[in-house]
Every structure is written in structure tokens, then in C-alpha cells.
Amino acid sequence: MSDEDGTTSTNTAEGEARDEARDEARDEARSRFVERFASELTEAGMQRMASRVFAALLASETASMTSAELAEQLRISPAAVSGAVRYLSQTGMVAREREPGSRRDLYVLHNELWYETFSRRDQVLTRWEKVLKDGAELLGPDSPAGRRAAESAAFFEFIQEELGRMMERWSAHRATLDL
């Protein structure tokens, strides 16, 4: 309904325009965050497309998106999304689920993402430590190479112990957060 002078329809149109402008600004801010965080992840050694897909999922409202949604938001090909998701799935950072009532896959971040990711890294550190200890013996404990391997093994053993304690402290701290 509108008044004879059209003020109601004008107010509605102005409100819709404001909402649209706000949504565009939010989408632009989200895109800037995604690219900035993806750049940081890439600098740290993660694959570029995997970094962008991960950051997009992190920045999404539901922590989940379809392949088509990721391709559209990031302006990349479905093949690039597929490769990135494969990498992220292998590292345990993303899970593939079926969208309810659909045949489309939904890519989802794990709950307690960082805790889970670092916990899995602990398994890698254990394997590295074992290989390095074996290497120290094979290379000769008195040789320079053997000493480097032994020091590397000791480093990973130390890191694992500290990581375990840190994860326990994180769990206790997380329980105090109001998130």
C-alpha cells in the first residue's frame, strides 16, 4: 500500500537499496578477508587454491559451501575447486558431505577445526621423530649427519610434548569462552 504521494513505496525502495548496499559492502569485506587470509596461508606453505577455498569456507556464515558456490565466489573453475578440496580433505581440514535433499556435495569445515588440525599434526610429528631416530642410528650417532638427525628427532619429541600440554590448556580455555 502507498499514500497518494507514494511515500510508502519510496521508503520501501530506499530500505531495499540500503539493504542491498549493506550486503554488497559485507560481501566486499568478506572477499578482502578471504584473499588476505589465503595469502597468509599461501606464504606459510599451503597451496594457493586450497588456501582460498579454506578461507572462503571459514568466512561463510555456515562454514559450508557447494563446489558451485565456491567457484562463483572465488571466480575459479570447478576443476580448481575440486583440486583444492581434495588437498583440504587429505589434510583433514574439510569434510565432504551430501547436501540434504540434493545430489550436490557440500564442503564443510570441521568443528574445532584448529584443534583437530593440530592434533593430526601430532601424528605426523611422531612419524617424523621415529624416522629421524632411525636415521641417526643409520647415519652413525657420531657423524655430523647422525647428530643433525638426532637433534631433529629431539626437537620433534619436545614439540610433541609441548603441543600435547598446549592442547590441554586450549580445551580448558575454550570452555571459558563465550562463543
- d(C-alpha 13, C-alpha 20), whole Å: 10
Longest dimension (CA), the chain: 96
Residue 95 sits at φ, ψ, to 5 deg, of -115, 150
What is the phi/psi pair of residue 111, to 5°? -65, 150
Strands (E), the chain: 64-66, 94-98, 105-109
| Chain segment 117-150, per-residue pLDDT in tens | 777 777 788 899 999 999 999 999 899 999 999 9
Nearest to 103 by CA among 68, 55, 51, 154: 68
Provide the pLDDT for residue 117: 76
pLDDT attached to residue 33? 95
Cβ–Cβ < 8 Å for 59, 33: yes
Provide the pLDDT for residue 9.
Answer: 59
Per the rule left: phi > 0, alpha: psi between -120 and 50, beta: everything else, 63 is left
Q: What's the half-sphere exposure (Cβ side, CA atoms, 13 Å) at 157? A: 11
**How distant is the alpha carbon of residue 125 from its chain centre?**
20
Rounded CA separation 26/60 (Å): 11
Percent of the chain's residues with pLDDT above 70: 94
Q: Helices marked H in 60-143 — which ranges?
A: 67-74, 78-90, 113-139
What's residue 4's pLDDT?
57
- Return averaged pLDDT per consecutive 10 residues of the chain, 179 residues in all: 56 81 86 95 94 95 93 95 93 84 86 77 84 94 94 93 90 90
171 contacts 164 by C-beta, under 8 angstroms: no
